[in-house]
Amino acid sequence: MDLYNTKTNLYPVMPLRDIVIFPHMVAPLVVGRQKSIKALENAMANKTEIFLATQMDASVDEPLQDGIHTVGTTAVVMQLLRLPDGTIKALVDGKKRGKIVSFLPNDNFFMAEIEEVIEKETSGPEVVAFVRQIRVALDDYAKINKKIPKEVLKSLASIDDPSRFVDVAISHLSLKTEEKQRVLETFSVLDRLSAAFEFIKREIEISNLEESIKSRVKTKMEKTQKEYYLSEQMRAIQKEMNDQGGGDDLSELEQAIKNKKLPETVQEKVDKEFKKLKMMQPMSAEATVVRNYIDTILSLPWYEKSEVKIDINEAETILEEDHFGLQIPKERILEYLAVQAQVKKIKGPILCLVGPPGVGKTSLSKSIARSMGREFVRLSLGGVRDEAEIRGHRRTYIGALPGKIIQSMQRAKVVNPLFCLDEVDKMSMDFRGDPSAALLEVLDPEQNFAFNDHYLDMDYDLSEVFFITTANNLHSIPLPLQDRMEVIKLEGYTEEDKLQIANGFLAPKQLESNGFQEGDIIFNEKAILEIVRRYTKEAGVRNLERNLASICRKVARDRQKKGTEDKKYRITLKSISKHLGAPKYRFGLAEDKDQIGLSTGLAWTEVGGEMLQIETTLMPGKGKLTITGKLGDVMQESAQAALSYVRSRAMRLGLLPDFYQKVDIHVHVPEGAIPKDGPSAGITMATSMVSALLRVPVRREIAMTGEITLRGRILPIGGLTEKLLAARRGNITHVLVPSQNERDLKEVPIKIRNSLCIELVDHMDEVLQKALALKEGTQVFADVPMESICADISDSSRNFPAH
Ligand code: ADP
């Protein structure tokens, strides 16, 4: 050391890049810059120390004086090694902190006057405490961070001088250059210790964090690797299985997506879902959900169409070919189709076929589809009470499905089928929403190009669908729906119609579907009439068809059993009961002879017209009116009104004015399990009551229908054709109909009108005169009341001789 000139405070200065040399630190430096080499050589030549100061910006090659930190370290150059590329490797040993006071003029390298730094707060309890803390922290740091070698720790342990200790410790930490420079510039040992302690703590924290991130990443990596491995294995197994069976599932699906033409937005969605699916475990629940969704979209028609044509002549031929009769509905349908053909667009009202079950509403729709070349799909709305049934459930629900509309479109496979919405009147509404609101959207041409199904979660275009609706009862269809409909009524069939339909359509159809040749079974006309009369009781022909089918099956069985493949069968009146068992219904008049208190009304229900028997009996009592037979409010009120009419006519009928105080009246409408309602049985109930009170029977061949007012006027009723058909089915010959229904009578098919004796009535008085079986020449209304009678119930009636 004596060699070195330590007296003078002039030093050659070597700027350092990216490194800070602390006192007591031995470090190798690779020196390439000419100025630095010169400074080193100068120091070596003059055997002086060199001042090592870090430059502020490491990227500058030729730093200026003010680009060099003023605080640095004096160092002894221990070794110089010239490398072949002209650079020098120098081993320097840091000595003391120093500060540049000023630079001296020198062209070759920096020369500066250096002032030695006097350190402050070099001892004291705090300093000792910090030193201890730093030792502990360093131990911890060394444990998690392998950057500090054990030897360094050992040598640190042997350093007592706090200043030297902290400088050595800092020099081994991996800090940024500026941070190290800052520590170098801290002349208070205590502050330097505190800074060092903070750095070490920070480093420990960072190392801990690094460690936990590493382990997290590692476990994640392990997990993904495992999953990847397993799914690869699964794929391999599936491939193996598919090689024996079908192709690879996912690639098949991908191909299907590629092959299917989809609208742009739908395509994007499917691609996204497919991407998701590929990342999933193939057997997982989520994958099934996504898979089903994609399958639904693929199975839906988006562009597929059938070629639609409307040729009115051909349509007419087809309608005639498929259905007997139904002249008015057929004409209306053809008119509707003609308009459609002219406007070339499905706009305007939706067809609604209304009529009792089995009159051919659905099969007419099918024929219309056939005549237009459209596919046919049918959706029954009976019992649909939840909006979600129409619109589907959101995919978030487990087991969610698209709504019935979309499901039907899947079945249709084309975007322009004929869509038959059956039983629109049977939809009901409850807390789960109103399905008819959704249906309105479906049927509205202004809205249905963008029908939103919750499951699909995108718009689907229904504007090319041809909708037809059917209903049994127009009144139960929600009004907003009715508004959009063009109603075509289909009425029940007469016996003759049924005969024709059975022979011309139903029997051939059943023969074919049961595997018979034409003529294998011949249904005799009387046999069919027997089925119509005694085995069915309906406005349509559904049960008739069912019975024919049942006969076909029985015959088929018989044939197989006996092995008589080509035997022909003839179904006659006699053999009917062998095939169908005992008759289910009576045909003919309900009663063998006229009865007191029993009148026949005609009712109209959803399943067509019905005959309705009404009975009245009297008992001694106090004027109570009992009404039974599961009657609705309107019908009960109608009974009250009928009684009030009878009371108002008591005198003229020859009853004591207070007759009702002495008798209880019980009106009953049999078939009590079936609910009945409506006002049209009013005159029938009044007739039944008067008959009971007067003890005059009612003519059994007469049936009647009409609403009664308190004064006995008769108001019109609905469903006239159906009622008249029911009367014919019941073998009634006379029907009393309200006068105000005269214009409806004109619409009743002439065949029906001619087969009955129909009398128009205005007032109840007329009804009584016509319906009661009075002795010839007698009047029901006496001009003078007969006061002598009605003393008690036993002779509460005038002594009318029975018919
Ligand atoms: P709805 O839909 O009115 O309840 P369907 O259309 O189901 O009745 O008709 C029941 C059966 O009766 C079908 O097989 C149908 O072909 C047949 N049918 C009904 N009316 C006629 C008719 N006028 N001509 C031929 N077959 C008919």
pLDDT of residue 1: 37
CA 574–ligand 1 middle distance (angstroms): 27
Task: Give me 285's structure tokens.
Answer: 């629940």
Q: Is 545 in the pocket of ligand 1 (CB under 6 A)?
A: yes
Residue 239 has pLDDT above 70, yes or no: no
**What is the rounded distance in angstroms from the CA atom of residue 584 to the CA atom of residue 531?**
10
Atom of ligand 1 nearest to the CA of 490: 3
How distant, in Å, are the alpha carbons of 266, 614, 768 from that of 646?
72, 16, 11
**What is the rounded distance in angstroms from the CA atom of residue 159 to the CA atom of residue 553?**
112
Atom of ligand 1 nearest to the CA of 363: 6
Pocket-testing residue among 322, 352, 363, 376, ligand 1, by greatest number of atoms within 8 A of Cβ: 363
In three-state secondary structure terms, 497 is: helix
Q: Is 193 in the pocket of ligand 1 (CB under 6 A)?
A: no
Q: Is 98 in the pocket of ligand 1 (CB under 6 A)?
A: no
Q: Is 376 in the pocket of ligand 1 (CB under 6 A)?
A: no
Of residues 577 and 432, more confidence is placed in 577
CA 361–ligand 1 middle distance (angstroms): 6
pLDDT in tens, 131-177: 999 988 888 888 877 777 888 888 888 888 999 999 988 888 888 89
Active site (annotated) includes residue 404: no
Q: Provide mean pLDDT across the span 203-227.
A: 82
Q: Is 366 in the pocket of ligand 1 (CB under 6 A)?
A: no
DSSP 302: S
If we measure between CA atoms, which residue out of 321, 339, 320, 340 comes closest to residue 329?
A: 320
- Tell the residue number behind the tokens 């010169």, with chain if given: 38
Q: Which of 330, 723, 796, 797 is catalytic?
A: 723
Q: Is 493 in the pocket of ligand 1 (CB under 6 A)?
A: no
Active site (annotated) includes residue 47: no
- Indicate the range of 157-166, 445-454, 625-634, 781-790 predicted with least confidence: 781-790
Q: Is 63 in the pocket of ligand 1 (CB under 6 A)?
A: no
User: Across the chain, what does the average pLDDT equal?
Assistant: 84
Q: Are 740 and 768 in contact (CB under 8 A)?
A: no
Q: What are the backbone dihedrals phi and psi of residue 103, each rounded to the nearest 5 degrees, phi first?
A: -95, 145
Side by side, the strands of the sheet bearing 625-628 are: 625-628, 663-668, 608-620, 598-605, 702-704, 734-738, 757-761
Q: Is 395 in the pocket of ligand 1 (CB under 6 A)?
A: no
CA atoms within 13 A on the CB side of 749: 22
**What is the rounded distance in angstroms from the CA atom of residue 71 to the CA atom of residue 516?**
116
CA 330–ligand 1 middle distance (angstroms): 14
Q: Are 717 and 742 in contact (CB under 8 A)?
A: no
**What is the rounded distance in angstroms from the CA atom of residue 6 to the CA atom of residue 662?**
149
User: Which pTM was predicted?
Assistant: 0.61
Q: Are 21 and 94 in contact (CB under 8 A)?
A: yes
Three-state SS letters, 107-129:
CCCEEEEEEECCCECCCCHHHHH
Q: Provide mean pLDDT across the span 25-45.
A: 89
Percent of the chain with pLDDT over 70: 92
CA 585–ligand 1 middle distance (angstroms): 22
Q: Is 542 in the pocket of ligand 1 (CB under 6 A)?
A: yes
Q: Is 362 in the pocket of ligand 1 (CB under 6 A)?
A: yes
Q: Given pLDDT bands bounded at 50, 70 and 90, which one contains residue 791?
A: very low
CA 358–ligand 1 middle distance (angstroms): 5
Q: Is 555 in the pocket of ligand 1 (CB under 6 A)?
A: no
Name the residue with the closest Cα to ligand 1, atom 24.
323
CA 286–ligand 1 middle distance (angstroms): 46
CA 542–ligand 1 middle distance (angstroms): 7
Residue 751 has pLDDT above 90, yes or no: no
How distant, in Å, are the alpha carbons of 602, 649, 782 from that of 801?
28, 21, 15
Atom of ligand 1 nearest to the CA of 541: 12
Percent of the chain with pLDDT over 90: 19
pLDDT of residue 588: 59
**What is the rounded distance in angstroms from the CA atom of residue 49 to the CA atom of residue 9?**
10
Q: Provide mean pLDDT across the span 76-103.
A: 89
The beta strands (E) that lie in 677-729 are given as 697-698, 702-704, 707-708, 714-715
Q: Is 359 in the pocket of ligand 1 (CB under 6 A)?
A: yes
If we measure between CA atoms, which residue out of 444, 441, 421, 442 comes closest to residue 354?
A: 421
DSSP 631: B
Rg (CA), the chain: 53
Q: Is 497 in the pocket of ligand 1 (CB under 6 A)?
A: no
Residue 684 has pLDDT above 90, yes or no: yes
- Indicate the range of 142-146, 373-377, 388-392, 782-786 predicted with least confidence: 782-786
Number of DSSP helices (H) and strands (E) in the chain, helices first: 28, 26
Residue 787 has pLDDT above 70, yes or no: no
Q: Is 492 in the pocket of ligand 1 (CB under 6 A)?
A: no
Task: Give me 525's structure tokens.
Answer: 């006309």
DSSP 654: T
- Tell the residue number behind the tokens 């680009």, with chain if given: 67
pLDDT of residue 184: 92
Atom of ligand 1 nearest to the CA of 355: 3
Q: Which of 680, 688, 796, 797 is catalytic?
A: 680
- Tell the residue number behind the tokens 């030549």, with chain if given: 45
If we measure between CA atoms, which residue out of 282, 279, 462 comes closest to residue 379?
A: 462
Interior CA angle at 119 toward 164 and 192, to 5°? 60
**What is the rounded distance in angstroms from the CA atom of residue 14 to the CA atom of residue 52?**
5
**What is the rounded distance in angstroms from the CA atom of residue 439 to the CA atom of residue 423?**
12
Q: Given pLDDT bands bounded at 50, 70 and 90, which one contains residue 68?
A: very high
How distant, in Å, are the alpha carbons of 131, 168, 282 from that of 466?
92, 91, 40
Q: Is 368 in the pocket of ligand 1 (CB under 6 A)?
A: no
pLDDT of residue 247: 46
DSSP 503: I
Pocket-testing residue among 470, 505, 509, 722, ligand 1, by greatest number of atoms within 8 A of Cβ: 505
Task: Give me 652's structure tokens.
Answer: 């003229």
Q: How far is CA 599 from the centre of its chain?
A: 53
Task: Give me 700's structure tokens.
Answer: 């059994």
Helix (H) or strand (E) holding 317: helix 312-322
- Indicate the range of 299-303, 561-565, 782-786 predicted with least confidence: 782-786
Q: How far is CA 568 from the centre of its chain?
A: 53
**What is the rounded distance in angstroms from the CA atom of residue 710 to the CA atom of residue 645?**
5
Q: Is 360 in the pocket of ligand 1 (CB under 6 A)?
A: yes
Pocket-testing residue among 541, 547, 548, 552, ligand 1, by greatest number of atoms within 8 A of Cβ: 541
Three-state SS letters, 372-396:
HCCCEEEEECCCCCCHHHHHCCCCC
Q: Is 363 in the pocket of ligand 1 (CB under 6 A)?
A: yes
CA 524–ligand 1 middle distance (angstroms): 21
Q: Given pLDDT bands bounded at 50, 70 and 90, which one contains residue 375?
A: very high
Atom of ligand 1 nearest to the CA of 504: 25
CA 227–ligand 1 middle distance (angstroms): 60
Atom of ligand 1 nearest to the CA of 357: 4
Name the residue with the closest Cα to ligand 1, atom 9.
360
Q: Is 541 in the pocket of ligand 1 (CB under 6 A)?
A: yes
Atom of ligand 1 nearest to the CA of 364: 6
What is the β-pairing status of strands 451-453 and 458-460? antiparallel
Q: Is 323 in the pocket of ligand 1 (CB under 6 A)?
A: yes
Name the residue with the closest Cα to ligand 1, atom 19.
360
CA 372–ligand 1 middle distance (angstroms): 19
Q: Are 537 and 607 in contact (CB under 8 A)?
A: no
The DSSP code sequence of 669-735 is: -S-TTS-B--STTHHHHHHHHHHHHHT-EEPTTEEE--EE-TTSBEE--S-HHHHHHHHHHTT--EE
Q: Provide mean pLDDT across the span 413-420.
A: 91
Q: Provide mean pLDDT across the span 626-646.
A: 87
CA 471–ligand 1 middle distance (angstroms): 14
**What is the rounded distance in angstroms from the CA atom of residue 452 to the CA atom of residue 7?**
95
Name the residue with the closest Cα to ligand 1, atom 10.
358
**What is the rounded distance in angstroms from the CA atom of residue 666 to the CA atom of residue 650?**
18
Pocket-testing residue among 493, 542, 722, ligand 1, by greatest number of atoms within 8 A of Cβ: 542
Pocket-testing residue among 353, 359, 489, ligand 1, by greatest number of atoms within 8 A of Cβ: 359
Atom of ligand 1 nearest to the CA of 470: 2
pLDDT of residue 346: 63
**What is the rounded distance in angstroms from the CA atom of residue 7 to the CA atom of residue 27?**
25
CA 193–ligand 1 middle distance (angstroms): 103
- Indicate the range of 228-242, 376-390, 536-550 predicted with least confidence: 228-242
CA 322–ligand 1 middle distance (angstroms): 9
Residue 798 has pLDDT above 90, yes or no: no
What is the β-pairing status of strands 625-628 and 663-668? parallel
Q: Is 358 in the pocket of ligand 1 (CB under 6 A)?
A: yes
Q: Are 113 and 100 in contact (CB under 8 A)?
A: yes
Atom of ligand 1 nearest to the CA of 542: 10
